Chains A and B, each alone.
Chain A
Amino acid sequence: MRFRIKYSKGGQAVFLGHLDMLRLWQRAMRRAGLPLAYSHGFNPHPLLAFGPALAVGIESRAEYLDGELTTPLEPAVLKDRLQAQLPAGLEIRQVFTIPRQAPSLTAIINAAAYRVTWEDPPDPKSLKEKAKDFLSRPAVEVNRRGKDGVKARDIRPGVYQLVVTPEAALEMLLECSSRGNVRPEEVVRAMDLEDPLRVIRTGLFNRRDDNRILAPEELADARYMTPARGDSALHEKVEIGE
């Protein structure tokens, strides 16, 4: 039985890195006594697959992982047994079964939504101006430090949406896939804003050709079994919530 977990990461748990999370889930599942399916071969490991890594220090309301059981279990039971084995800061929001052939999280997810807030919130008007200005630029180059030094990269095509809320939070929908990834801090810096107090990942999505965005749990519906590539023409907007 294949299952998909949606969970949130907050509190102290935001300081755990991606590799820490892999170990943590494996061990929590073993403690919960789940009948996990293992890979074959000399060094068997549980068949778990994770969504895109979340940077250390960032909260999330929507992280995902897939797993497989050798004997089926009610999703509600699985959720309770597993939640009881998780350290503070990690909360399972939903567990659901997925079809055997369902595409993997990495095949589905190509966009991530973030919400950024500041200790001293900027004036909403100027924030809006900055967002508009950002979206009107044909290209936005940022420097990325990689293994072979610093490289310039255009993040503009990967910024799908910027929304300024009345309380002066900035919400963004950014590219998040194996082909490219834009980090919320890069956008904040390119907009010439102060370092934020909090960055929250609010969702991971499959952004479709028709510009609809669907969460993995919505995609579990058989109609959406084929994930969209999400590389159609850009339709950005600056929403001004009143």
Chain B
Amino acid sequence: MPGIDLEKLLTRVSKPARYLGTEWNAVHKDWEENPVRMAFIYPDLYEVGMSHLGLAILYGAVNERPGMLMERAFAPGPDLEVLLRENRIPLFSLESRRPLTAFDVLGFTLQYEMSYTTILNILDLAGIPLLAGERTAGHPLVIGGGPGVANPEPVAPFFDAFLLGDGEEALPELLAVLGRLKKEGIINDRHRVLKVLAGMPGFYVPSLYDVKYNNDGTVAAVVPREEGVPGRVVKRVIQDLDAAFFPTRPVVPFLEVIHDRIMLEVMRGCTHGCRFCQAGAIYRPVRERDLSILLRQAEELVRHTGHEEISLTSLSTADYSRVEELARFLATAYAGQGVSVSLPSLRVDAFSVRLAEAVQQVRKSTLTFAPEAGSQRLRDVINKGVDEEDIMAATGEAFRAGWQAVKLYFMLGLPEEREEDLLGIVELARRILDQGRRLAPGGKPTITVSVSSFVPKPWTAFQWEPQDRVEVIKEKQQLLRTRLKGPGLRFNWHEAEVSFIEAVLSRGDRRLSRAIVAAWRRGARLEGWTEYFNYSLWEEAFRDTGLDPAFYAYRRRRDDEIFPWDHLDFGVTKEFLMRERRRAREGLVTVDCRSGRCTGCGVCPGLGVDLILKGGSRDGAL
């Protein structure tokens, strides 16, 4: 079967290297010999999608198995989209350039809410009905995974199924089952296929559940429509990452992508327990990889990719029990080949900075820290577990080591926030600047304060909280902007309207799917990019559909409210989150369970798993 002939179009678009599919390590499996075929779709541009570790993992895990294949697809750039529509060419996979309709399964990763309209655009460009209920025999199964499935309800009508939790085992399992159904000739009985999926651990088939609403618009219940459909869907967890597949032949992009480097995943999960953080909740428990396995993977990755940088990735890499040995060893071992080591996120303490100093030869770049809040009181509210001494020690160490620029991440609009907390951001930035003038070589440091707006997320202690109104966020931004002026200080902030739409969608229910469709119809897509985000499209979409966004973003939830995602189980219990919410109000800190004290979040007993730590010395030598 011939692929789509793109050559003529490619000469007319910017960055044609996005669409080639002939990158090093791209897998071109034989179509006929592999009867179960899936396309992994990242609903954003190539440069963003190719920076996603999950894609590399699942691409490798599926393609190493016989009988199945996975190809990649991304959102086309706006220039190619116009040409595709003009020439009536359906959106295609990169490897074989087949139309997406040729695949059995299309898997979208839900990384952020602002990609939802792009998902619709991709389905439309592929010629696939947007609503799962309108798809018939012969249409691919459209499935979703990633952090967005923590509450997939706003996009539930677009998907045939979701996979909750880790995918490297569950996805090949699914494809194997579909292979069997295909062989048995029942793949075209869509309802039967969905019933089979619904019975598989970790898979949620939204069309098999009814949502009932209360008169006040809140959810009353989400219940299975049929027998054999579980009342609760529990997420999948890979207990032993050492035994799990990890790709050592990832695709090496031609273009410079956002994260253009080796991503060595040292662990999964984070137990700091920041109360605003969804990732910290839904990726529990912490599972570390063995040092010897990481060293072997790093060696293979350098040999198979030729990348010039190894990034030690995880939610909080400085926490990895053997991070120092690992980072130092890699930095020494590969220096001769021009390969450097980097740490993506630094914990706010001197240990992290000394570690970065030891391995990162290039000091010209900026060192980034996330104190998140400007006062100790508010940092305790959000359980950040960092005090001013840590912040001053970390930044001081950075200046002494030769860094000239420090970037600080804060959030505004946090629960319990007062004006003094915002002024605390300013004071902190100025103290760090003063310190930098004394310690930094040259005495002319730059402090960048980057402020995002708090978005209450499901599965966090703040899932009951309202978001600040857009006007209030803007006032707070203004307050900071006027005070964070002067030499050595830079201030940037996130667009308040984007955070508002994120807040609407993150805790939304199925009714919001109509607003997403309406926004897309009016032209919304690629909204993760400021140049493409247009708030008025959403205002019109809410007006068109009669939905009130304030109901979702600004409303404080009742303590006993049933959430749209309550039938999904990520391990963390609602009781724990409620307890954390109470402790937040009282300003009480909850310690990291790495220390050995269980905080009772419910994950380990609930999912039958355990923390995996790899011991070794920490903090000592540095």
Interface residues of chain A, those whose CB is within 8 Å of chain B, are 12-13, 15-17, 19-20, 23-24, 26-31, 33, 36, 38, 42-46, 56-57, 85, 87-89
A27 and B17 within 8 A (CB): no
Q: Give the complex CA separation of A17 and B10 in angstroms.
A: 13
B522 at the interface (CB under 8 A from A): no
User: Shortest 10 CB-CB distances between A and B: which pairs?
Assistant: A27-B306, A30-B306, A15-B16, A31-B306, A20-B254, A12-B22, A12-B20, A43-B362, A57-B11, A88-B22
Q: Which of A15, A30, A45, A87 has the most CB of B within 10 A?
A: A15
| Cβ-defined contact, B306 with A16, below 8 A | no
Question: Is B304 located at the chain interface by the 8 A CB criterion?
Answer: yes
CB distance from A159 to the nearest CB of B (A): 24
Smallest CB separation, B76 vs chain A (Å): 15
Q: A31-B304, A33-B303 are in contact. Are A42 and B17 (CB under 8 A)?
A: no
- Bound Cα distance A27, B363 (Å): 23
A15 close to B362 (CB less than 8 A):
no
Shortest Cβ gap from B36 to chain A (Å): 26
Within the complex, the shortest CB–CB distance from B157 to chain A, in Å, comes to: 38
Q: Which residues of A contact B362 (CB under 8 A)?
A: 42-43
Q: Of residues 12 to 47 in B, which have CB atoms within 8 Å of A's CB atoms?
A: 16-17, 20, 22-24
A17 with B304: in contact, given A24-B254, A27-B252, A46-B338 (CB under 8 Å)?
no
The answer to whether A30 and B24 have CB atoms under 8 Å apart is no
Given known contacts A57-B11, A85-B306, what 18 new A-B pairs fall within 8 Å (CB)? A13-B22, A15-B17, A20-B254, A23-B256, A26-B306, A27-B24, A27-B252, A28-B306, A29-B306, A30-B306, A30-B308, A30-B339, A31-B24, A31-B305, A42-B362, A43-B361, A46-B338, A85-B24
Q: Name the interface size band of chain B.
A: 20 to 34
- Cα distance, A48 to B133, chains bound together (Å): 57
Residues of the A chain whose Cβ atoms lie less than 8 Å from the Cβ of B256 = 19-20, 23
- A30 engages B361 (CB within 8 Å): no
**B337 interface contact, C-beta 8 A:** yes
B433 at the interface (CB under 8 A from A): no
Kindly state the separation between the CA atoms of A27 and B309 in the bound complex, as whole angstroms: 11
Q: How far is the CA of A236 from the CA of B339 in the complex (A)?
A: 50
What's the Cα separation between A14 and B20 when bound, in Å? Answer: 10
Quick check: is B186 within 8 A (CB to CB) of the other chain?
Answer: no
A45 touches B22 (CB 8 A): no
Interface of B is mostly: loop
Q: Are B307 and A27 interface neighbours, CB within 8 A?
A: yes
| A-B pairs under 8 A by CB, number | 65
CB nearest to B308 among chain A residues: A26
Provide the residues of chain A in CB contact with B308, threshold 8 Å. Answer: 26-27, 30
B302 proximal to A (CB < 8 A): yes
Main secondary structure of the interface of A (DSSP, over half): mixed
Complex: chain A residue closest to B8, CB-CB: A197
CB contact between B338 and one of A13, A15, A45 (< 8 Å): that residue: A45
- Bound-complex Cα distance A57 to B10 (A): 9
Cβ contacts under 8 Å, A19 to chain B:
256
Contact A16 B254 (CB under 8 A): yes
Nearest B-chain residue to A36, judged by Cβ:
B338
Q: In angstroms, how far is the closest chain A Cβ from the Cβ of B494?
A: 30
Residue pairs across A and B with Cβ atoms less than 8 A apart, 13 shown, are: A16-B254, A20-B254, A28-B24, A28-B306, A30-B302, A30-B307, A31-B24, A43-B362, A44-B335, A44-B338, A45-B338, A56-B16, A88-B22
Q: What's the nearest-Cβ distance from chain B to residue A79, in Å?
A: 17
- Flag whether B255 is at the interface (Cβ < 8 A): yes
- Render B362-379 as a binary contact track against A, CB cut-off 8 A, 1 for contact: 110000000000000000
Minimum distance in angstroms from A49 CB to a CB of chain B: 16
**Residues on B with beta carbons closer than 8 Å to the beta carbon of A30:** 302, 306-308, 337-339
In chain B between 297 and 317, which residues have their CB closer than 8 angstroms to a CB of chain A? 302-308
Asked if A20 contacts B361 (CB within 8 A), the reply is no
Which residue on chain B has the smallest CB distance to residue A38?
A: B338
> Which A residues are in CB contact (< 8 Å) with B11?
57
Q: Which of A26, A46, A56, A87 contacts B24 (CB 8 A)?
A: A87
Residue of B nearest to A43 (CB): B362
Cα A55 to Cα B305 with chains together (Å):
26
Find out whether the CB atom of B306 lies under 8 angstroms from the CB atom of A15. no
Bound together, the chains give a CA A44 to CA B309 distance in angstroms of 12
**B residues 310-327 in Cβ contact with A at 8 Å:** none
Nearest neighbor of B10 in chain A, beta-carbon distance: A15
CA gap between A20 and B23 in the complex, in Å: 11
B292 to chain A, nearest CB (A): 23
Are A87's CB and B338's CB within 8 A?
Answer: no
A-chain residues with CB within 8 Å of residue B255 when the two chains form the complex: 20
Measured CB to CB, the nearest residue on chain A to B254 is A20
Closest to A13 in B: B22
Shortest Cβ distance from residue B618 to the other chain A in the assembled complex, whole angstroms: 28
Min CB gap A242→B, angstroms: 33
Among B22, B304, B307, point to the contact of A89 (Cβ < 8 A).
B22
- Residues in B230-284 with C-beta less than 8 Å from chain A: 252, 254-256
What separation, in Å, do the CA atoms of A213 and B302 have in the docked complex? 42
The CA of A89 and the CA of B305, in the complex, are separated in Å by: 18
In Å, the complex CA distance between A196 and B155 comes to 47
CB-CB under 8 A from B23, the residues of chain A are: 87
Q: A12-B20, A30-B337 are in contact. Are A42 and B254 (CB under 8 A)?
A: no
Residues on A with C-beta less than 8 A from B307 are 27, 30
B196 to chain A, nearest CB (A): 39
Could you tell me the distance in whole angstroms from the C-beta of B483 to the nearest C-beta in chain A? 36
Find chain A residues with CB under 8 A from B361 CB: 42-43
- Chain B neighbourhood of A16, CB < 8 A: 17, 254
**A24 contacts which chain B residues (CB < 8 A)?**
254
Q: How far is the CB of A32 from chain B (nearest CB, A)?
A: 8
Q: Nearest B residue to A32 by beta-carbon distance?
A: B306
Pairwise interchain contact B20-A15, C-beta atoms closer than 8 A: yes
Instruction: Report B-chain residues with C-beta under 8 Å of the C-beta of A12.
Output: 20, 22
| Chain B nearest CB, measured from A77 CB (Å) | 18
Chain A residues in 8 Å Cβ range of B304? 31
User: Which residues in B have their C-beta under 8 angstroms from that of A88?
Assistant: 22
Residue of A nearest to B19 (CB): A15
Q: How far is the CA of A46 from the CA of B305 in the complex (A)?
A: 16
Q: Which residues of B contact A27 (CB under 8 A)?
A: 24, 252, 305-308
Chain A residue, CB-CB nearest to B26? A87
CA distance A29 to B308 in the complex (A): 11
Q: How far is the CA of A87 from the CA of B20 in the complex (A)?
A: 11
Residues of chain B within 8 A of A57, CB atoms compared: 10-11, 16
Residues of A with C-beta under 8 A to B22: 12-13, 87-89
| Cα A46 to Cα B336 with chains together (Å) | 11
Closest to B336 in A: A38
Identify A42's interface contact among B16, B20, B337, B363, CB under 8 A: B363
Q: Is the beta-carbon distance between A20 and B17 smaller than 8 angstroms?
A: yes
Contacts of B306 in A (CB 8 A): 26-31, 85
Contacts of A28 in B (CB 8 A): 24, 306
- Compute how far the CA of A23 lies from the CA of B260 in the bound complex, rounded to whole angstroms: 10
Shortest CB distance A112–B (Å) = 20
A44 to B362, CA, bound (A): 10
Which of chain B's residues 327-352 have a Cβ closer than 8 Å to chain A? 335, 337-339
